[in-house]
Structure 1
Amino acid sequence: MFNKIFSKLKNNNEQNSEKFVDVGEHKFLKNFKKITITLLILFVAISYYVLLVPINLRSAQFYSYVLFILCLLTVIFFIDSLFNKKSGIIYKTSIKLIVIIIAALVLSNLYSSPILQAKKYAMLIKKQEGVFETDVKSADFNKLPVVDRDMAIKLGARKMGEMGTLVSQYDIDETYSQICVKGKPLRVTPLVYADTIKWFLNKSNGIPYYINIDMVTQNSTLVKLSSPIKYSLSDKFSRNLYRHIRFGYPTAIISQINFEIDEDGKPYFIASVVEPTIGILGGEDVKAVIVVDASTGEMKKYNTDEVPTWIDRVYPAELIIKQLTDNGQYERGFINSKVKQEGVTKPTEGYNYITMGEDIYLYTGITSVLSDESNIGFVFVNMRTKETKFYPVSSAEEFSVMESAAGAVQEKAYKATFPILINLYNRPTYFMALKDDAKLTKMYSLVDAQSYQKVAVGNTIQETVDNYRKITTDIAIESTDIISKEIVVEDVKSVVVDGNTVFYIKVQGEDKIYTAPIDVDATLAFVKQGDILKVLGNDAESTFIITGLKK
Structure 2
Amino acid sequence: MKNWKAKTIIAGTILLLIVASVYYYIALPAINIHSPGFWKFIIVVLVAAMIIYLLFQTRFTQSAGSGYFSADRFGIEFKTPQSAKIFKIMAAVCIVVAAVFAIGSLLSSKIINASKYQKLLDVETRSFKDDIKEVSYDQIPILDKDSAETIGNRVMGTMVDLVSQFEVNDMYTQINYKNKPVRVSPLQYGSLIKWLTNKSDGIPGYIRIDMTTQQAEVVRLEKGIRYSTSDHFGRNIYRHLRFAYPTYMFDDIRFEIDDDGTPYWICPAKKYNVGLFGGVTVGRVVLCNAVTGQMQDYDVSEVPQWVDKVYSADMLINLYDYYGTLKHGFLNSVLRQKDCVKTTDGYNYIALDDDVWVYTGITSVGQDKSNVGFVLMNQRTMETRYYEISGAEENSAMSSAEGKVQHLNYTATFPLLLNVGGEPTYFMALKDSAGLVKSYAMLNIEKYQNVAIGETVSECEANYIKMMSQSGVITQEKQEEKNISGTITKIIQTVVDGNSHFYITIDSSDAIFDVNVIENPEIIKYNVGDVIKLSYTENDKTNDAKPVK
Matched, 1:59 2:35: yes
2:446, 2:515 → 1: CA distance? 26
Which residue identity is paired with 2:20?
A: V
1:188 is aligned, of 184, 190, 194, to 184
Which residue identity is paired with 2:253?
A: I
- What is the count of residue pairs matched by the alignment? 509
Matched, 1:413 2:389: no
Query: Which residues in structure 2 correspond to 1:315-394 (within 5 Å)?
Result: 315-394=311-390
Q: Closer, same or farther in 2 for the Cα pair 1:498/1:308, shift >3 Å? A: closer
Which residue identity is paired with 2:88?
A: K
- Report the counterpart of residue 45 of structure 1 in structure 2: 21
Mapped contact 1:366–1:376 kept (Cα < 8 A): yes
Matched, 1:254 2:250: yes
Return the structure number with greater relative CO, CA threshold 8 A, min gap 6. 1
Question: 98-107 or 47-56, which moves further after superposition?
Answer: 98-107
**TM-score, scaled to structure 2:** 0.84
1:398 is aligned, of 388, 394, 398, to 394
Q: Quote the offset at 1:534 in angstroms.
A: 8.5
Query: Which residues in structure 2 correspond to 1:77-92 (within 5 Å)?
Result: 77=53, 80=57, 82-84=78-80, 87-92=83-88
Which residue identity is paired with 1:69?
A: V
1:439-458: CA deviation from partner (whole Å, max 9, x where unpaired): 11111111111111120111
C-alpha root-mean-square deviation of aligned residues, in Å?
3.5
- Report the counterpart of residue 463 of structure 2 in structure 1: 467
1:436, 1:337 → 2: CA distance? 40
What's the secondary structure of 1:145's corresponding residue?
coil
1:36, 1:99 → 2: CA distance? 21
Q: Closer, same or farther in 2 for the Cα pair 1:318/1:514, shift >3 Å? A: farther
What's the secondary structure of 1:269's corresponding residue?
strand
Which residue identity is paired with 1:130?
A: R
Q: Closer, same or farther in 2 for the Cα pair 1:145/1:515, shift >3 Å? A: farther
Q: Quote the offset at 1:414 in angstroms.
A: 1.0
What's the secondary structure of 1:314's corresponding residue?
coil
- Report the counterpart of residue 446 of structure 1 in structure 2: 442
1:128, 1:62 → 2: CA distance? 37
What's the secondary structure of 1:254's corresponding residue?
coil
1:116, 1:126 → 2: CA distance? 21
Matched, 1:313 2:309: yes
1:179, 1:503 → 2: CA distance? 33
2:172, 2:511 → 1: CA distance? 32
Mapped contact 2:135–2:419 kept (Cα < 8 A): yes
Q: Quote the offset at 1:496 in angstroms.
A: 8.5
Which residue identity is paired with 2:306?
A: W
Q: Closer, same or farther in 2 for the Cα pair 1:495/1:248, shift >3 Å? A: closer
1:199-244: CA deviation from partner (whole Å, max 9, x where unpaired): 1111111111111111111111111112221111111111111100
1:513, 1:232 → 2: CA distance? 48
Mapped contact 2:24–2:41 kept (Cα < 8 A): no
Q: Quote the offset at 1:99 in angstroms.
A: 3.0
1:105-139: CA deviation from partner (whole Å, max 9, x where unpaired): 33322322212211111122221111111101113
Name the % identity: 39
2:17, 2:511 → 1: CA distance? 69
What's the secondary structure of 2:243's corresponding residue?
helix
Q: Quote the offset at 1:282 in angstroms.
A: 0.9
Mapped contact 2:537–2:543 kept (Cα < 8 A): no
Question: 326-335 or 209-218, which moves further after superposition?
Answer: 326-335
Mapped contact 1:346–1:367 kept (Cα < 8 A): yes
Mapped contact 1:182–1:358 kept (Cα < 8 A): no
Query: Which residues in structure 2 correspond to 1:532-547 (within 5 Å)?
Result: none
- Report the counterpart of residue 71 of structure 2 in structure 1: none
Which residue identity is paired with 2:121?
A: I
Which residue identity is paired with 1:312?
A: D
Question: 199-208 or 95-104, which moves further after superposition?
Answer: 95-104
Query: Which residues in structure 2 correspond to 1:97-496 (within 5 Å)?
Result: 97-474=93-470, 478=474
2:494, 2:167 → 1: CA distance? 40
Q: Which consecutive segments of 4 or more residues in structure 1 shift more than 4 A?
A: 26-33, 84-89, 474-479, 481-506, 511-520, 528-535, 542-546
Which residue identity is paired with 2:14?
A: T
1:91, 1:147 → 2: CA distance? 60
Q: Quote the offset at 1:517 in angstroms.
A: 8.1
Mapped contact 2:12–2:53 kept (Cα < 8 A): no
Which residue identity is paired with 1:66?
A: I
**TM-score, scaled to structure 1:** 0.84
Which residue identity is paired with 1:432?
A: M
Question: 485-494 or 52-61, which moves further after superposition?
Answer: 485-494
Mapped contact 1:77–1:90 kept (Cα < 8 A): no
Mapped contact 1:77–1:88 kept (Cα < 8 A): no
Mapped contact 1:432–1:444 kept (Cα < 8 A): yes
Mapped contact 1:33–1:76 kept (Cα < 8 A): no
1:152, 1:367 → 2: CA distance? 29
Q: Quote the offset at 1:102 in angstroms.
A: 2.8
Which residue identity is paired with 2:114?
A: A
Unaligned runs of 5+ in 1: 1-22, 521-527, 547-551
Q: Quote the offset at 1:371 in angstroms.
A: 3.0
Q: Quote the offset at 1:266 in angstroms.
A: 0.6
Q: Closer, same or farther in 2 for the Cα pair 1:460/1:322, shift >3 Å? A: same
Mapped contact 1:182–1:263 kept (Cα < 8 A): yes
Mapped contact 1:425–1:482 kept (Cα < 8 A): no
Q: Quote the offset at 1:358 in angstroms.
A: 1.2
